[in-house]
Structure 1
Amino acid sequence: MKARLVRYADLVPCRTAFIDTRTPGSTEKENFTIIGAGVSESADQYVHITERHGFNIGAARQPFGCVNSQHSHDTAEVFVVHSGHWRLPFGPNKEDGAIDIGPGDVASVPIHMFRGFEKLDEGVGFLFTVLGKDDPGKVTWAPAVFEAAADHGLKLAKGGRLIDTSQGDYVLQDVELADATGDDIAASLKTPPMEKLRECVVAAEAMVALPTSPLARDGVEEAPIITPTETNDGFPAGPIAGWWPHGFNLRRLTMASGAYIPLHARSEVEVIFVHQGTLEISWQGGAIMMGAGDTLSVPVGLPHAFRNTASVDLVAFVVRGGDAPAMPNFTD
């Protein structure tokens, strides 16, 4: 179980994960791959947990003003704001509008459209991210990103590996460089109307617990955030269902001080990210205490219990594998 726990303090960042790593305004961003290899283009990217989950878990940490350049994904990209205020601009040149999100908010950006993200306020902020599928493919960068990166010696090899041409290693390794994104491809990655994109965001204060959740009890609430379809544990679709595939559910678990969820097992993979407070997870023969920013992957079929042992409320986000998770199996 300790090998399945990634503490915030132990996260290993990569400062050279993407092609825009030297572009002014983007040099200070840190990329993390917590579960799965993600979409990093750098051989220096450290992967904390390599076991296949059906989705990838990552994170980004950026200071005020730092920008992650405009790009598109082939699978779902979900942002959970742990700290800071952020802007998600849309379109290849940020011309199609933007949505701002803050602590506790969640945004799921549709596939095949350009998006970026930038830190709006002072201090360092942290985004927890979920990418669809075991292999989320490679990033498609907006044409202007390639042009800016080339000015600083960075290019992509075919297949998505970052090459530093200023060092000449692309000549030594005789690699074939990828072509920049063409205008025809960029034009095909159209931004949906803003009213549709606003359906892809749930603010923290708008998250509503489902009273009939099998986890609900005194001091415990479970709120749906991303539910692609009606589930086998009683959750209706929404509030984010998406017209593109997700392959996972996202929920918010809140527990008052002293609240307890007895031993239960899941039929699908379960990943827990603590947003605030502390959470004790116990099983026969052991227990782990999680704090804010920590991530844990719970083995399928392991009976485990949750308890909030602190004097403040716990808020955690839970990713459950599959579109329609099963009922938990309570064992005590």
Structure 2
Amino acid sequence: MISSRLIRYADLVPCRNAFVDSRTPGSDRKENFTLIGPGVAENPNQHVHIAEPHGFNIGGARQPPRCLNSQHSHDTAEVFVVHKGRWRMIFGVNADEGGVEMEEGDVISIPIHMFRGFENVGEETGFLFAVLGGDNAGKVTWSPRVFDLATEYGLVLLEGGRLVDTTLGETVLAGAKRQLPPSTAEIAQLATPPQDKLAGCVLKPRQFAVNPGSPLAREGVEEAAIITPAATNDGFAPGPIAGWWPHGFNLRCLRLESGASVPAHVRDEEEVIFVHRGVLQVTTPEGEVIMGPGDTFTTPKGMPRAFRASSSNGVAAYVVRGGDSPAMPSFVS
């Protein structure tokens, strides 16, 4: 059923103790989501909406005002799209090496091997749509302060990334090894790049690179590049975010005016669509899907799909395509 590939925002199943910092004061109200792929949650009970490997992972974070995600580092790309709220991304192992504030629609790709955290600094519950590189996004490296607080609140992180919650009666099995905090030498390898270099890793919608030569472009439809690691076979130049670290996917913004459409076409790579604004109608041979704000849909490779904006305010959708160089789509007569 094609409907099984649709994840509605209203149906998201959160995990409130996905990571070792989930009891840290200020971080204890966050909700983590694994939408597509295994994700990087340390709690084995994290709900996975669609487990099918895509070559990348799709996740999400929902946090009330003043809720913090503690300082950590990733081994693969981590990209955030701000769907709701106002957020501050915070850099450095001790959260004291600068940062950037982001609003709805903004995108950031945070380089690998550096400490980052993020806080909802707005006045409403916020939601971040997240893309992580690779089917196996690796384990999270937490700052030493997180380990200290985790022990105080009954959480133990084991080597390999499994979380043990002693307040629920869970025990550390014989032979299991606790994950140690990173050493001074390891922290030095995760240094924050200069601020002027990091400035090129965050974009506002007006900075997206609209490509008039996109094969999807037509009256009332534009496709804009956000993350393009290399020149692609479907006519996109590298940038605006290319990165000096691997991504393994492209991120685009597809905008349609009310009533505008893209005819049926087939793609050779994985494609995940996240609707930020408006109502998007996706038509496939197996049926039709109506997507609203916050909904996520993954179309099977090789299956024709057509798009239409059926809302009066048009549509803005973020599209993740697998690989550094997506192929030219084939339009169906």
2:162 maps to 1:149? no
CA deviation map 1:57-111 (0-9, x unaligned):
0000001000000000000000000010100110000121101111000000000
- In the other structure, the counterpart of 1:268 is 269
- In the other structure, the counterpart of 2:222 is 221
CA deviation map 1:214-237 (0-9, x unaligned):
000000000000000000000000
Note if contact 2:209-2:240 (Cα within 8 Å) is conserved in structure 1: no
1:70 and 1:23 mapped to 2: Cα distance? 12
Alignment root-mean-square deviation, CA? 1.1
1:189 and 1:171 mapped to 2: Cα distance? 29
What is the identity percentage for the equivalent residue pairs of Structure 1 and Structure 2? 58
Question: 1:246, CA displacement in angstroms?
Answer: 0.2
CA deviation map 1:132-154 (0-9, x unaligned):
00000110001111111111111
Give structure 2 stretches of 5+ with no counterpart. none
CA deviation map 1:231-275 (0-9, x unaligned):
000000000000000000000000001101001000101000000
- In the other structure, the counterpart of 1:296 is 297
CA deviation map 1:42-64 (0-9, x unaligned):
02200000110000000000010
- In the other structure, the counterpart of 2:106 is 105
Note if contact 2:259-2:314 (Cα within 8 Å) is conserved in structure 1: no
Note if contact 2:274-2:319 (Cα within 8 Å) is conserved in structure 1: yes
2:240 and 2:173 mapped to 1: Cα distance? 51
Question: 1:175, CA displacement in angstroms?
Answer: 2.8
Matched to 2:81, the amino acid is: V
Which runs of structure 2 are paired with 1:25-174 in the superposition (5 Å)? 25-167=26-168, 169-171=170-172
- In the other structure, the counterpart of 2:239 is 238
2:183 and 2:107 mapped to 1: Cα distance? 31
2:124 and 2:132 mapped to 1: Cα distance? 26
Which runs of structure 2 are paired with 1:276-291 in the superposition (5 Å)? 276-291=277-292
2:238 and 2:172 mapped to 1: Cα distance? 52
Question: 1:284, CA displacement in angstroms?
Answer: 2.4
1:235 and 1:188 mapped to 2: Cα distance? 33
Give structure 1 stretches of 5+ with no counterpart. none
- In the other structure, the counterpart of 1:194 is 195
Give the structure-2-normalised TM-score.
0.98
Matched to 1:328, the amino acid is: P
Question: 1:172, CA displacement in angstroms?
Answer: 5.4
Question: 1:162, CA displacement in angstroms?
Answer: 0.7
2:221 and 2:9 mapped to 1: Cα distance? 25
Moved over 4 A (4+): 171-174
2:174 and 2:13 mapped to 1: Cα distance? 28
- Aligned partner of residue 114 in structure 2, secondary structure: coil
Note if contact 1:143-1:183 (Cα within 8 Å) is conserved in structure 2: no
CA deviation map 1:261-309 (0-9, x unaligned):
0010001010000001000000225211100000000110111100112
Question: 1:174, CA displacement in angstroms?
Answer: 5.5
Residues 315 and 147 of structure 1: CA distance in aligned 2, closer, same or farther (over 3 Å): same
CA deviation map 1:169-188 (0-9, x unaligned):
32456532111222221121
- Aligned partner of residue 184 in structure 1, secondary structure: helix
Matched to 1:36, the amino acid is: G
Matched to 1:119, the amino acid is: N
1:285 and 1:181 mapped to 2: Cα distance? 49
